[in-house]
Amino acid sequence: MGKNFHVVKHDEGWAIKKEGVKTPLSEHRTQELARQNAVLLAKHDHSEVVIHGTDGKIRDKDSYGNDPFPPRDKNH
């Protein structure tokens, strides 16, 4: 399983950051666009997407790996 992708507030928009990497992988106008792109990256990397709110706190997360005991996610 790869490292997680985080969607975080950045400058005038939102960014995707990969754990352990200082600079953002990409920047987006909206959180939703950043989330959609992070999901594509996570599916390819078999990792998680962690969505942060404007306050920096974790709002949501989804796993796109091969978890043998996945949680029953009622959000999606």
pLDDT tens, 9-64? 999 999 999 999 999 999 999 999 999 999 999 999 999 999 999 999 999 999 98
DSSP secondary structure string for all residues of 21-32: -SS-SEEESSHH
Residue 39 lies in a domain: yes
Asked if residue 63 is part of any domain, the answer here is no
Q: In total, how many domains does the chain have?
A: 1
Kindly state whether residue 67 falls inside one of the protein's structural domains. Answer: no
The sign of the CA dihedral 54, 13, 76, 17 is negative
Inside any domain, residue 64:
no
Examine the pLDDT at 2 and tell me if it is beyond 90.
Answer: no
Closest CA to 39 of 15, 63, 72: 63
70 within some domain:
no
Q: Judge whether residue 76 has pLDDT over 60.
A: no
Domain extent for 18: 5-58
Q: What is the pLDDT of residue 50?
A: 97
